[in-house]
Amino acid sequence: MPTYHFASVIDDYTMNITHVIRGEEWISSTPIHVIIYNYFKWKLPEFIHLPLILDPNQKGKLSKRNILTYNFPIFPIKWYNKKKNNYINGFKEHGFLGDAITNWLFILGYSNPLKEIFYNIEDLIKEFDINKINSVNTILDINKIIWLNKSHINNKSSIELHELCNDLYQLDNNILSPKLIDIIKNRCTLLSDIIDISKSIIIRPNINKNDITFKLWNNDIAIFFKKICNLIERNELDINDLIKFIKINNLNIKNNLIIILRVIITGKSKGPNINDIINFLGKKEIILRIKIALISLE
């Protein structure tokens, strides 16, 4: 241990470190470091000790063990575990934005009289004052960082998100586009959500007649969807008016045809605005997916 303290001071001095910022568990070591600096007659750096981040149960500071306990990352990026010879994904791989993590850490240990939560990097630079750092430990709030990440995703342009997703997941451009991201980003909490929702729209779904959505599928509904295809093909129905047409003509059919249409198109009963999805996919693709469903549900 004495060797460590000696090496730590030598290392900081040779790198011209002016501010040593670390967790409060190092407070007890600071006098030793000051003695070493004084012995060599070197100028002391500023020593700043930060409060600790406690696990959600307040049983101790956040540690590697919490990854398994809470199924939540604690490292910024992927980390190699030598003992188990495997990789543990960090915040980046889970789909968190760097801006959101920085924002989260800022409000986690900072005295904020305005009670603001959302900050971009420019705001943080303007606002930051080292004297306003809290002196008490703070508890990890998983829900807050998830909310912040969703807010930062919504605050970014679709082009920025497209670049971030491509950098992280190295996707085929047929899966993702800025136009599609613009439709879905307000439903996304993580970057991985952008990928998952995009795939559900781009990739044609497998229609399963045992799906609960098709429980009340009958000949009348099949005839109605065949009529829709015919009207669209003859240019007597614009796909932008498709949902309106279904609402008007859904009076004598008990099933919710809009939910059925959504499942036919995306394979899911919930998701982004169905009109936006229809407009994005276009006339030919919508007709094709309805026809595939009609064959599958015969």
Residues annotated as catalytic (active site), given as ranges: 64
- Residues 6 or more apart from 228 whose CB is under 8 A from it? 237, 242, 245, 246, 290
Query: How far apart are alpha carbons 78 and 272 in whole angstroms?
Result: 31
In three state form, how does the secondary structure of 153-190 look? HHHCCHHHHHHHHHHHHCCCCCCCCHHHHHHHHHHCCC
Q: Where are the beta strands (DSSP E) in 71-117?
A: 79-81, 86-88
DSSP single-letter state for residue 45? P
Exposed e or buried b per residue across 196-206, where buried means at least 16 C-beta atoms within 10 angstroms of its C-beta: ebbebbbebbe
Query: How far apart are alpha carbons 244 and 250 in whole angstroms?
Result: 10
C-alpha angle 89/95/97, rounded to 5°? Answer: 110
CB 253 within 8 A of CB 224: yes
Query: How far apart are alpha carbons 290 and 263 in whole angstroms?
Result: 10
Closest CA to 284 of 249, 232, 242: 232
- Residues 6 or more apart from 295 whose CB is under 8 A from it? none
Both tokens of residue 208? Answer: 């399963």
Query: How far apart are alpha carbons 178 and 93 in whole angstroms?
Result: 21
